[in-house]
Amino acid sequence: MNAVGSAKLRRRTIYRRISMKRSIKNLAEMIRRSDPGASIAFELWDGETLSTDYAPNVTLRFESEEIAKDFLARKWLAFGEAYTAGEIEVSGDLREALRLGMAVNFDEAKPTLQEKLELLHAYLKTRNTRHHAVKNISYHYDRGDDLYALYLDKTMAYSCAYFRNGGDSLDQAQLNKYEHTCRKLMLKPGERLVDIGCGWGGMLIYAAQNYGIRGTGCTISRNQYEYANRRIKELGLQQQIEVVLEDYRNIKEKFDKFVSIGMFEHVGKEFIPQFMQKSRRLLSDGGLGLLHTIGKDAESPGDPWILTYIFPGSYIPHLAEIVACMGKTGFSILDVENLRMHYALTLEKWAENFENNVDKVRQMYDETFVRMWRLYLNACSVGFKYGETRVYQILFSNGLNNELPATRDHCYKPYP
């Protein structure tokens, strides 16, 4: 390359860096406009710092110019990948950094073609057909029970807890959730309960021990299936309940009551009608069902980082979408409760337990996994507390049931 060409290349490089730094400075200003109290800094690859405050509470450091460029182009997906790889460091409170980033609401801008293609690729790769569903669930839930035991409660509940009192421990709050659910379903001794996506069996076991039900749970995670049945045998409940390694679409029996906690997010948009139709076939006429699911108030794009690295095949539906499909299926909707802040606190407690055991996690996996899981738990907590994510308990009956109580007193009376 001659001298003229070299000079042009240097000028283009300088202009590109100036433009990139201007974009990062604009981002800092956007954050300040979204939250006047924001205290955040961006430390660049060359040591320069762009800040909203003289003494920032949170600093994001880009290890290279390429990482900064990718972050500006691909937003949350690039941030998740770079943070996991140690190419973006966060000094200060990670949750606060995520909250400030969420305040900008990148989703208000139209997604780029690249972002659309990334979402499409994640969707096509992980559609929840019967074949893909097993792979998708195994990717997250079959990482080993030892991992989940480090940060979940004693019953291994991997869903939103219910904090009746501010001082409730995670263990107590998960028992509260089971009790709250059982009361809404008005379970009675001898009734048949189906638990779709039963996880490690906590809800089914609680209902059998405390309400005398008989029932079946299903999961397509082999780890969960084996753990749940070991636990059922240890407790001597084999004559009351069982957990089968089966896709919900293959369950054939009829049940008095229906529950699904934290599974609906894995059904997939195109399979929601099929899920509802199957649920109605499983539930007796007039029988009660409860769907406990993460959702949104309105339709919005999914998170490509979560879809790719944490929950492949997941889809977060919006409430109107769920309710409309329930109505078309023939369900009568009785009650909708939003437990958003309960899930934010649940995730905070999971994240705290995770950090208390982080050395064990690092030995089991590696530093990359630690950073990925840390980001997942904290980002989800922030999403419930400050973002668009909700969690709903939707109580319904299969057709009309005119024998139900006129009030919800049975749900909220004092615990024994």
Query: Higher model confidence: residue 405 or residue 29?
Result: 405
* Residue count of the chain: 416
Q: Rounded CA gap, 111 and 300, in Å?
A: 11
Q: Rounded CA gap, 350 and 399, in Å?
A: 38
What is the residue whose two structure tokens read 């973002």?
A: 387
Q: Residue 380 catalytic?
A: yes
Please report the pLDDT score of residue 129 as a whole number: 47
Stated as kind and residue range, the H or E segment containing 334 is strand 331-338
pLDDT average, residue stretch 309-337: 95
Indicate whether 133 pLDDT > 60. no
Could you tell me the pLDDT band of residue 121, with boundaries at 50, 70 and 90? low
Please report the pLDDT score of residue 53 as a whole number: 74
Q: Rounded CA gap, 314 and 305, in Å?
A: 11
Name the catalytic one among 160, 182, 218, 380.
380
| CATH 3.30.1050 placement within the chain | 3-109
Sequence-distant (≥ 6) Cβ neighbours of residue 297 within 8 angstroms: 318, 319, 388, 390
Q: Rounded CA gap, 129 and 60, in Å?
A: 40
- Find the DSSP H helices in 150-198: 170-185
Please report the pLDDT score of residue 134 as a whole number: 47
Q: Which CATH architecture has domain 3-109?
A: 2-Layer Sandwich (3.30)
pLDDT tens track for 235-287: 999 999 999 999 999 999 999 999 999 999 999 999 999 999 999 999 999 99
| CATH 3.40.50.150 placement within the chain | 125-412
Please state whether the predicted TM-score (pTM) of the whole model is above 0.85: yes
DSSP structure string for 33-90:
HH-TT--EEEE-TTS-EEESSSS-SEEEEESSHHHHHHHHHHHHHHHHHHHHHTSEEE
Residues pairing with 243 in the sheet: 217
Q: Which CATH architecture has domain 125-412?
A: 3-Layer(aba) Sandwich (3.40)
pLDDT tens track for 190-232: 999 999 999 999 999 999 999 999 999 999 999 999 999 999 9
> Angle 181-227-347 (CA atoms, 0-180°, nearest 5)?
50
pLDDT tens track for 330-340: 999 999 999 99
Q: What is the CA radius of gyration of the chain?
A: 24
Please report the pLDDT score of residue 128 as a whole number: 47
